[in-house]
Amino acid sequence: MTRPIWLVLVKEIRQMRRDARLLAAGFLGFLLVAVASFVGVQHHQIVTQQKREAAQTERSRWLNLSDLGPHGAAHFGIYVFKPETPLMAFDPGVDQFLGVSVWLEAHKQNKFIYRPMQDAGAVQRFFNMTPAAIIQLLGPLIIILLGFNAFAGERDQGTLRQLLSIGVDGRFLLLGKAAAVTGVLFLVLVPAVAMAIAAGIGLSADVSWLRLTLLVFVYCLYLGTFVGLTLAVTARAGSARSALAFLLAFWVVNGFLVPRSVAEIADWAIPLPSATAWQAGMEAEIRDGHATALELQVKRELFAQYGVDNVDALPVNWRGIMLQRGEEQNYPVFDAHFGKLFDGVRRQDIVYQWGGLLAPAVTIQSLSMGLAGSDFEHHKGFVRAAEEHRRVIQKTLNEELTLHPEKEWGEYSAGPELWARVPEFQYALPDLRDLMWHYAPAALILLAWCALAWVLALRSATTLRP
């Protein structure tokens, strides 16, 4: 049963090998993917190294702070850097639009800064040549160029008539041709991508093999969808030219029109406030941690608790308690405003994923970023981890201040022992299981696209007409 498939595969490969134009195009495709992967890996390595060095410098700066009051140190603050996941070499996702660092200081939760795309030119903003983008856009194009004439070209040349007169099952022809297209695609894409992933893995020991396996799987589904669709169209088309025209139109719709339109629709359906308006809204609700009213309230409570009538008689430093109380009273404000923003983005993301019903590229973009750890969900996880760390820093410093009663503000100076007690920032990627439900629509839609493409292809192959 497999012999006809093998014969068709060998014949197709033999024909491709003897087609100089195809060989040249394939070599150019390989070169493009290899260059994109190499550049992606290089960039990833540089950024990873820079972040690592910056984090070390920042930690060292913190540990070597001169003797000063804990609250003064809290205002000096510390920068934390979002670590690069190994798979970000393959798909940097939205990470480059969201910022890579945040300043953790007293009283407020800051926004992320240093967005790589701030420095990018217009062309790079339009199409950033990452290995993921290359596969998402050029992968289907290569499949279309390899496969548009698989049946329609044979129909044009009359060989399909000869072939069908032999009495071969059309499904064998389909599978043989699919194997040939997939094989060539594999040769063009996989070595370069494997290089990117291997280089990325080499940077970090904590790569998740589950993520990598799933990433490979979803890309197989995506490219498999295009193999099926291309063969279904070429089997039905009246001529190779009409098959190519239809497939190229679909490629444009899939790769450019739908993703951008769906993003616009999501933005329209679930509008997010502008950065300025959102910031202003949050700041309007933030209560001043040094406010006189809070100071009076804290003092009153402490005097009652310790049965004293002046701050000099208190066994604790009222300022430490007041500052911590000030921090805590703003936690719900930060949580509410960031939470609302995150919820809006999450709902936009769900709308975007359902846009995958119009084009499979939308689903692979979501899934690829999610598995690479460069999507908004991972960014959100990092923002929360950074804020948790900020709260730990403030609590540690304020508690230390509380333990040192003082007569005058600024009298107590802490030193390296305290700075070292502030833990180093650690961040672990969210568990994939927590993200599964979020990406369920995209995964199911991609699966449905692939199934539909192959049902159409098999149906077309069983009813082939010369």
Partner 1 sequence: MLEASKLTKRYNAVIALDALDLLVEPGQIYCLLGPNGAGKTTTINLFLGFIRPDGGTARVNGQDVASHSVETKKDLAYIPEQVNLYRSLTGLENLEFFTGLAGHDYPRDKLLEFLLAAGLPGGAADQRVGAYSKGMRQKVGIAIALAKNAKALLLDEPTSGLDPLASYEFSQLLRQLAKEKVAILMTTHDLFRAKEVGSVIGIMRRGTLVTTMSTEQFSHTDMEKIYLEYMK
Whole-number minimum distance, CB 465 to partner 1, in Å? 7
**What's the CA gap between 274 and 219, in Å, rounded?**
34
- The least distance separating partner 1 from the CB of residue 30, rounded to whole angstroms, comes to 22
Residue 24 or 420 with smaller CB distance to partner 1? 24
Q: What single string gives the DSSP state of each residue in 233-289?
A: HHHH-SSHHHHHHHHHHHHHIIIIIHHHHHHHHHHHHS----HHHHHHHHHHHPPPT
Please give the angle made by the CA atoms of 198, 203 and 205, to the nearest 5 degrees. 95
CB 152, min distance to partner 1, A: 14
| Three-state DSSP class for residue 123 | helix
- Report d(CA 10, CA 16) in Å as an integer: 10
Cβ closest to partner 1, residue 18 vs residue 407: 18
Rounded to a whole number of angstroms, the minimum distance from the CB of residue 162 to partner 1 is 5
Cβ proximity of 226 and 255 under 8 Å:
no
Which residues contact residue 389 at a Cβ distance below 8 angstroms, ignoring those fewer than 6 apart? Answer: 80, 104, 423, 425
d(C-alpha 143, C-alpha 146), whole Å: 5
Q: Which residues bind partner 1 (CB under 8 A)?
A: 3-4, 7-8, 11, 14-15, 18-19, 157-159, 161-169, 172, 465-466
Of 6 and 331, the one with the shorter C-beta distance to partner 1 is 6
The C-alpha atoms of residue 34 and residue 37 are separated, in whole angstroms, by 5
Residue 172 vs 334, nearer CB to partner 1 = 172
Q: Minimal distance in Å, beta carbon 345 to partner 1?
A: 53
Query: Rounded to the nearest whole angstrom, what is the least distance from the CB of residue 459 to partner 1 in the complex?
Result: 16
140, 27 contact by CB (below 8 A): no
CB of 415 or CB of 466, closer to partner 1: 466
- Whether the CB-CB separation of 144 and 247 falls below 8 Å is answered with yes
Quick one: 89 or 240, whose CB is closer to partner 1?
Answer: 240
Per-residue tokens: 343: 């919820």
State the nearest-atom distance from the C-beta of 170 to partner 1, in Å.
9
Handedness of CA 283, 286, 289, 292 (dihedral sign): positive
Nearer to partner 1, 42 or 162 (CB): 162
CB-nearer residue toward partner 1: 19 or 67: 19
* C-alpha of 323 from chain center: 37
Task: Report, in Å, the least distance between residue 6 CB and partner 1.
Answer: 9
How many Cα atoms are found within 13 Å in the side-chain-facing hemisphere of 151?
31
